[in-house]
Chain A
Amino acid sequence: MSHYEAPIRKPLVTGDKSYHDITVEIARPVEGKANKSWWIVFSIALIAFLWGLGCIVYTVSTGIGTWGLNKTIGWAWDITNFVWWVGIGHAGTLISAVLLLFRQKWRMAINRSAEAMTIFSVVQAGLFPIIHMGRPWLAYWVLPIPNQYGSLWVNFNSPLLWDVFAISTYLSVSLVFWWTGLLPDFAMLRDRAVKPFQKHIYGILSFGWSGRVKDWQRFEEVSLVLAGLATPLVLSVHTIVSFDFATSVIPGWHTTIFPPYFVAGAIFSGFAMVNTLLIIMRKVVSLEDYITVQHIELMNIVIMITGSIVGVAYITELFMAWYSGVEYEQYAFLNRATGPYWWAYWAMMTCNVFSPQFMWFPKLRRSIMFSFFISIVVNIGMWFERFVIIVTSLHRDYMPSAWTMFSPTFVDIGIYIGTIGFFFVLFLLYARTFPVIAQAEVKSIMKSSGEKYKKIREEKGDDANLYEMPEPKTLPDFKKLIAEANSKNDSSDANSKSE
């Protein structure tokens, strides 16, 4: 009964799969050669990345004045993109850590790619705090390092400093968590490799994993502890990002709901990005049996729930703006809805509040095409959310004489496009060299949730054997053999005696 699962649960691995099939199918994209379309997409991403790199170099060498910022609006696309990328990164940790704590078996097919997405998007996010600095070459001053200025220290009161700690801790922990999970899978690739070079590389990457019982036991413990640590981390990281705004006194920024609401928005946009990527990936590398429609449906449900939470937060903010009686606050929201950036506000509302509500209809949330469409809509909406919060609160606040407008330059846009390119460069390389599904984990749920085994249980009852007994071989007739041997011995004995 150790593998019991209620029959109403749908299988998570479809098709008549054995353990070996999982190995082969997950190793296939790594062991095969990239096709033409991979190279085309990779080239496009690389060009975008190089273009973005050019824009970054131009900014740093010429000055922040190349961006569309002005004296009133000191933050716009830079921090918008930063928060957007950090938010996207959160789904990876959510899928691997929170869903692990909640024992959601469906996470196993998607956690590897979700974590990869986390790491690659946190890398993109990490660029912005540096390149938006006026003097990025002094960025190391944010670290509390003893120095020759009479040990000049940092001020620990700034959420921007907390950001430094949050993001760097987040990246490191995510990386360790991801890599630990990869060890058994790299070991699998190492053991399958036929070319010495690959064997050598995967041998290094897998840290000599040999899969002993004790190793697995500790592996599980480490995963649980890391999941337990990553969960508060993921909440606190985006909370700290939200503090950048919420600790301020700017109307539209200073509100207490930001911490949980930014986190909800992060899960929302992150899951949407996972959906976008996995819907393509399952098709391209033929992993439809592992990333099933059920997986997509469940991600859509998460998107729907977090989208609704974000919706409640929007309404709460609107209500409180009115209820507070603070005219600045009231104007901030009036300005969002009817001011010069009304289109951004309503784009945000449409994409974030209305679009996830379609997911209440089972037909729509089970439709792959529709899910893909909505997942992109959500990410556009979440970009606008950050843009609206940042820009519309800044461009009109306390003093009307400081009111102004913001429009980005090609450098702002170029850097953003560059990070998208960089993200895809990393992700495409990952998809060709890493096992994109955690095979060791998927194998652990095969017998409880694989279609093949669920069928066996359905036919033969819950206690049916989930393995096949080897055909019993008919034993040789021992009596006869003994008799034969004895007679041989007898005759030889007789011979020896006679001698």
Chain B
Amino acid sequence: MYTISKNLKLTAIILMVVGAIGLIYGFINVPSSVEEVHEILASSDAHGHADEAHAHDDEHAEHVFHQLQNKPWASIYTAALFFFLIAAGALAFYAIQNAAQAGWSPILFRVMEGISAYIFPGGVIVFVLLVLSSLHLNHLFIWMDADVVAHDEIIANKTGYLNIPFFLIRAAIYIVGWAFFYSRLRKNSIKLDEGFDPALFKKNFKLSAGFLVFFIVTESMLSWDFIMSIDTHWFSTLFGWFVFASMFVSGITVIALVTLYLKSKGYLEQVNNSHIHDLAKFMFGISIFWEYLWFSQFLLIWYANIPEEAVYYVQRIEQYPLLFFGTFFLNFLLPMLILINTEFKRIPWIVSLAGVIILVGHYINFYVMIMPGTVGESWSFGAAEIGSVLLIGGLFLYVIFNALTKAPLVAKNFPLLKESKHFHY
């Protein structure tokens, strides 16, 4: 059995506390009125816009005021969604391994289960944030604002889908559905430790297949709801699969990092460098797949240049150039160059390095998906952003490592376990 080391527990708690302080500071620091924004704008734009009409200035200040108000909300939302979807990505990977009857990975099943344990708490946090948005505590989703909808015909036409009750019901279905599949899979997996029962093995096989079907549909809808609807006017058919690639590769990366950590602490002795190699191959392959989707979506919209779609990228390239193109390097180029070498894929520190790059890159990917529609050009990395990542990241660490203590780190009696223990590539 695994026990959390005191250091790790302490680290997680410190992260949460520091993160919470940062986030609270971010909320306090939000200007409370448009006048305050005027002052900020005046001090930052010393050269001023003397020629421009005052009315325009007021409008601009109000615009910036809303963006700054959104900033801490968008930060915590990005972090909450990112870690929640990492857990979901890990669960999808677990389900695929089960459904494909993979022979190499069963030794890592408990690690995947541990990471997926965050689905429920993570989902609850995301859901609470969505409820707060629908109570109009923030303006993350402009379509939730009845005033906007009244004056915007395009959004008004979408209210059949984008309305608060239906939105929250859908969100609940995704989160509860995923958590349900997780808890069933986990329960059967632990039951299998008591003694081999072919029926249980089969049950988990079928559950995994069922989950994957449910997942492909709900994941697509989730990405339209939780992310795409922020830029309410914009649409892209590829979007759901693009988000999937992002969460999937992050999930696999976290599996690799947690495995490496546990192994370095002397747990998971039977995990050998071939297992790490396979995980690294998946990190490598899915990174390229993510890039393929990122580029396809971008290229098609850039090429046809239809204004109603292109505006999405215009804003990102103008306001977030470094982050937008940075993901290309962090999520594709660097992982590809680092992980293409067979030897490198077996060296823990190199895999960890690539893993950290991938995770940072995909956080930025989420950031670039969420921020332009919520805070626009007023973005910056400050206490709220960093605090949110630390807060949710600390909670994530605490939850997953706590879940890892609940069951032996290697499942017993799994029919493919022996193959996995003897796996060499």
Q: How far is the CA of A7 from the CA of B422 in the complex (A)?
A: 14
Quick one: which of B293, B301, B304 contacts A248, CB cutoff 8 A? B304
Residues B304 and A254 in contact, CB atoms below 8 Å apart: yes
Q: When the two chains form their complex, are residues B418 and A260 in contact, meaning their CB atoms are under 8 A apart?
A: no
> Chain A interface mostly helix, strand, loop or mixed?
helix
Alpha-carbon distance between A312 and B354 when the two chains are bound, in angstroms: 32
Give the docked Cα–Cα distance between A255 and B306 (Å): 11
Mark each residue of chain B from 186 to 229: 1 if its CB lies under 8 Å from any CB of chain A, else 0.
Answer: 00000000000000000000000000010011001000100000
B240 A316 Cβ-Cβ under 8 A: yes
Listed A/B pairs (7) with beta-carbon separation below 8 Å:
A4-B422, A6-B103, A255-B237, A255-B300, A312-B216, A313-B237, A320-B235
Interface string of B223-262 (1 = CB under 8 A from A): 0100000000001111111000000000000000000000
A484 to B303, CA, bound (A): 96
Closest to B237 in A: A257
Stretch at the interface among B77-85, B131-139, B154-162: B154-162
Interface string of B291-327 (1 = CB under 8 A from A): 0110011011101101010000000000000000000
Smallest CB gap from B160: residue in A? A322
B418 pairs with A6, CB closer than 8 A: yes
Nearest-CB residue, chain A, relative to B302: A247
Residues of A within 8 A of B293 (CB): 259-260
Residues of B contacting A205 in the complex (Cβ-Cβ under 8 angstroms)? none
The DSSP consensus for interface residues of chain B is helix
Q: Check if A272 is an interface residue, CB within 8 A of chain B.
A: no
Query: A364 CA to B419 CA in the complex, in Å?
Result: 30
Candidates B235, B297, B301; contact of A323 at CB < 8 Å: B235
* Interface presence of B177 (CB below 8 A): no
Q: Mark B95-113, 1 if CB is under 8 A from A, else 0.
A: 0000001010000000000
B304 touches A260 (CB 8 A): no
Q: Are A249 and B304 in contact (CB under 8 A)?
A: yes
Chain B residue with Cβ nearest A462: B418
**How far apart sit A447 and B157, CA to CA, in the bound complex (Å)?**
63
Q: Is A6 a contact partner of B419 (Cβ separation < 8 A)?
A: yes
Report the Cα distance A252→B154, complex, angstroms: 20
- Assess the B300–A246 pair: CB atoms within 8 A: yes
The answer to whether B419 and A4 touch across the interface, beta carbons within 8 angstroms, is yes
Q: Which residues on B sit within 8 Å (CB–CB) of A247?
A: 299-300, 303-304
A323 touching B304 in the complex, CB below 8 Å, given contacts A256-B297, A312-B216: no
The smallest C-beta distance from A266 to any residue of chain B, in angstroms, reads 15
> Could you tell me which residues of chain A, from 205 to 249, have a CB within 8 Å of some CB in chain B?
232, 235-236, 239, 243, 246-249
Within 8 Å CB of B292, what residues of A? 232, 235-236, 239, 259-260
Q: Which residue from B154, B237, B418, B419 sits with its C-beta under 8 Å from A316?
A: B237
Contact A260-B238, Cβ < 8 Å, known A254-B304, A308-B213? yes
- Least distance between A376 CB and chain B CB atoms (Å): 25
Minimum CB–CB distance for A249 against chain B, Å: 5
The distance in angstroms between the C-alpha atoms of A210 and B213, with both chains bound, is: 48
Chain A nearest CB, measured from B254 CB (Å): 22
Q: When chains A and B are docked, how far (Å) is the Cα of A324 from the Cα of B234?
A: 7
